[in-house]
Chain A
Amino acid sequence: MSYLGHVMVHLRKDLRLEWRSRDAINGMLFFALLVVVVFSLAFDPTAAMSRQIAGGILWVALLFASIIALNQAWTREQRNRVLETQRMAPAPPSALFLGKAIANLIFVAIVEAILAPLFAVFYNLHIIGQGWLLVAVMPLGTWALVCNGTFFAALGLRTRNRELLLPLILFPISIPALLGMMQATTAILSGEFDPGPWIRLLIGYNVAFTAACLLLFETVLNAE
C-alpha cells in the first residue's frame, strides 16, 4: 500500500471511531461556546472594538477547545494495546501521525464552521477587509494548532499528568502561529492592515513544523 493509502486508512479509522460517539466534537463545540460567552462578559465590546478583538477571541476559544480533543486523541490507541501493535506493524509511523492529525483537523474545522456564524452573531461582525482570505487563514491556523498538538499529545502519551503537559509544551511553541492567525483574522475583519505577512508566516510555520513532526514521529513512538 502506498504511503497515502496508509494515511487514508488511519484517517478513516479515526473518523469512524469519532463518528460513533461524537464525544470530542460535542465537547469542543460546547467548550468553545462557553469560552466565547465568558470573553463577552469580560470585554462587552462595541461594534468597532469587537472587530479588533474577535479574531483573538476566536482563536483562543479554538485553542482551548482543541486541547480537549487533542488530549484524548491518543487514548483510543492506548486501549487494548493498539499502540504497541502500531509500532510492530510495517506501515510507516508518520502515516499514523498524519492520518490522526488530518482527522483532528476535520474535527476542529467542523467546530469552526459552526462557531463562525455564532461569532458573527454575538459580535455583530461584518467583514471590512477581504473576507475570502479567511478561507485561507482558517485552515492554515487550524493546521498549525492541530499538527503540533497531535504530535505533542503523542509526546505525553506515557507521562503522568498527561493532560497537564500538553498545553504547557504546546502553547509556547505555538505562539508565533497564534500571533499569525490572530493578526491575520483581525486584519481581515477590520481591514486596517495587511494580512499578507501573517499568512506567509503561517505558511512558513506550517511547512517547517509539519516536516519536523513527520520526521520525528517515529523517534517519539519508539522513545524507550
Chain B
Amino acid sequence: MNFSWMFGSSMEARHLLYAYVAVWAIQGGYAGWVLYQWLRAGRQSRTVSHTDNH
C-alpha cells in the first residue's frame, strides 16, 4: 500500500503508516488476546471434572 504519492517525503509516509498499523496491531492484538483467554476459560470450566471418591 503505497501512500507516498500523497506525500513529499517517503519517510513521512512510512512513519504515518507505521503509526496507524501499530495502533491497529496493539488494539486488535489486545482485544484478540482477551477474546482468546475468554474462550479458553470457558472451555476449561466445562471440562473440569468432579472428583469422585465413591
- Determine whether A and B are in direct contact in the complex, meaning some CB atoms lie less than 8 angstroms apart: no
A contacts, CB < 8 Å to B: none
